[in-house]
């Protein structure tokens, strides 16, 4: 047991605090959420009321709670120059030690005015009688029959801990996806989004004293949940213990689920799972042109976005040699190198045309830049120059045609729709096939 000496002034304050408690000892009794014939909390309330009425708190039985009350009462008539210390995951609590009473029970009773420490007064019945205690600034509740606390209790906890939330039937913390969820006692759902830096699970558990928190608090994420089920129990324990904050815990879950897909021969893009290589390939623009090669890849694949260039970066060490020899007749170190070579070869005379508008000039300059500096450099440079919806659609189409770098975050849904509509026309222009005819077709999309 660790000890701490206190001054005379602190001793006076300590005894005054005890006097206040014994003037109203029922303040340590939580409100019951349910009733049970053998519930010890109800019995404690009755016995404390009798003790208070007689002003006699002596007790010689074997009950730990009542023994701790009795020994605490005796402290008022003795000097207490030294207090005991108990270190918990939520801080250090002080108490006056006397007799053989359990130190946690003593600490809980003597800190009746602290909504976290007062729960310790019932730590023995939580372990032996399956009692559950819930305590916050405005609530002090107990259950003997597994009745969960109301939604208002959890909101009170979050407000006390300085955690901003929204929602009525469900509690949400943050807004950005992906997210993870906590299902509390099978009835209360808290959704935590990726930008949260709080320690939400740890903060909630701080205000509950229950025998098996991992049974009552189920933590998971819908991110790739349908196909990726790695064991995250260790991460959940560390999260609830306060070792991880919300953001880091979610990043661990995402990382482990992505790795699970790759290790188990599965397929995923962003937050979506695919049941076959065919459905996976069909969701990546431009990938069908390489389907025979991709189907021979024997491992699982995960992509953060449906980008052909990123896919080829991952697979090139294994299938790149075969692809480059078949497509270009020589080896290339990367898919982008091969694509740049093929584009140069397909344009023996450089493709040029007279633009008729700022948006068509954007396409002409993009083609010219790719011829001079390579596809990757051109796409990355023009990404920052694309201002209009049409220009972004042109860039999207060109990126898919060329198998350039991943820049999917630039494009809106409307950009993608228009980009897919003009992709075939732009591809023919880039290859130098029927340029004038295809430019006329393009005018219908690019005013």
Q: Taking each helix axis from N to C terminus, what angle separates 375-383 and 335-346, rounded to the nearest 10 degrees?
A: 100
pLDDT of residue 136: 98
Cβ-based burial of 333 (10 A; exposed 0-12, middle 13-18, buried ≥19):
exposed
pLDDT of residue 351: 62
Give ∠ CA 314-286-269 in degrees, rounded to 5: 50
pLDDT of residue 379: 82
CB proximity list for 374: less than 8 A, separation 6 or greater: 336, 340
How far is residue 207's CA from residue 445's CA, in Å, rounded to a whole number? 61
pLDDT of residue 137: 97
pLDDT of residue 405: 64
The answer to whether the pTM exceeds 0.75 is yes
Cβ-based burial of 211 (10 A; exposed 0-12, middle 13-18, buried ≥19):
middle
Neighbour tally for 352: CB within 10 Å: 12
Sheet bearing 267-269, strands edge to edge: 272-274, 267-269, 301-303
How far, CA to CA in Å, does 174 sit from each of 15, 152, 156, 223, 268? 45, 19, 17, 16, 25
Q: How do the pLDDT tens digits run along the chain, 447 residues long?
A: 677 787 888 888 999 999 999 999 999 999 999 988 889 999 999 999 999 999 999 998 999 999 999 999 999 888 877 788 999 999 999 999 878 899 999 999 999 999 999 999 999 999 999 999 999 999 999 999 999 999 999 999 999 999 999 988 889 999 999 999 999 999 999 999 999 999 999 999 999 999 999 999 999 999 999 999 999 999 999 999 999 999 999 999 999 999 999 999 999 999 999 999 999 999 998 899 899 999 999 899 999 999 898 999 999 999 999 999 998 888 888 998 888 777 766 655 566 778 888 888 888 888 888 777 767 777 888 888 888 999 999 888 888 877 766 666 578 889 989 989 998 888 888 777 888 888 888 888 888
pLDDT of residue 408: 60
pLDDT of residue 231: 93
pLDDT of residue 370: 75
Neighbour tally for 113: CB within 10 Å: 12
């Amino acid at each position: 047991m660790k000890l701490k000496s206190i001054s005379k002034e602190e001793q006076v304050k300590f005894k005054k605090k005890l006097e206040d408690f014994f003037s109203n000892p029922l303040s340590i009794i939580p409100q019951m959420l349910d009733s049970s014939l053998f519930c010890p909390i109800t019995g404690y309330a009755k016995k404390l009321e009798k003790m208070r009425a007689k002003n006699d708190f002596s007790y010689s039985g074997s009950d730990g709670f009542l023994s701790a009350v009795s020994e605490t009462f005796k402290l008022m008539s003795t000097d207490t120059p030294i207090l005991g210390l108990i270190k918990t995951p939520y801080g250090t609590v002080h108490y006056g030690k006397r007799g053989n009473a359990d130190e946690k029970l003593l600490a809980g009773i003597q800190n009746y005015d602290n909504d976290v420490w007062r729960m310790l007064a019932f730590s023995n019945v939580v372990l032996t009688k399956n009692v559950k205690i819930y305590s916050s600034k405005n609530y002090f509740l107990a259950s003997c029959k597994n009745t969960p606390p109301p939604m208002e209790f959890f909101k009170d906890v979050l407000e006390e801990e300085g955690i901003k939330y929204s929602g009525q039937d469900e509690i949400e913390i943050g807004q950005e996806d992906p997210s993870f969820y906590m299902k509390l006692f099978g009835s209360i759902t808290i959704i935590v989004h990726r930008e949260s830096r709080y320690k939400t699970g740890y903060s909630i558990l701080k205000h509950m004293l229950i025998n098996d928190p991992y049974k009552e608090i189920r933590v998971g994420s819908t991110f790739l949940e349908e196909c990726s089920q790695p064991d995250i129990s260790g991460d959940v324990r560390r999260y609830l213990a306060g070792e991880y904050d919300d953001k880091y815990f979610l990043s661990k879950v995402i990382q482990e689920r992505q790795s699970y897909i790759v290790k188990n021969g599965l397929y995923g893009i962003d937050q979506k799972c695919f049941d076959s290589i065919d459905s996976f390939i069909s969701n990546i623009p431009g990938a069908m042109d390489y389907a025979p090669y991709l189907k021979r890849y024997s491992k699982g694949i995960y992509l953060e976005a449906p980008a052909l260039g990123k896919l080829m970066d991952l697979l090139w060490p294994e299938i790149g040699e075969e692809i480059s020899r078949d497509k270009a007749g020589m080896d290339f170190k990367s898919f982008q190198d091969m694509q740049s070579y093929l584009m140069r070869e397909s344009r023996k005379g450089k493709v040029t045309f007279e633009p008729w508008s700022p948006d068509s000039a954007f396409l002409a300059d993009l083609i010219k830049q790719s011829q001079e500096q390579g596809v990757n450099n051109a796409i990355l440079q023009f990404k920052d120059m694309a201002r209009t919806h049409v220009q972004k659609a042109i860039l999207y189409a060109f990126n898919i045609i060329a198998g350039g770098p991943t820049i999917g975050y630039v494009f809106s849904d409307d950009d993608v729709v228009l980009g897919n509509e003009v992709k075939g026309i732009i591809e023919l222009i880039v290859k130098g096939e029927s340029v004038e005819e295809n430019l006329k077709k393009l005018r219908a999309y690019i005013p």
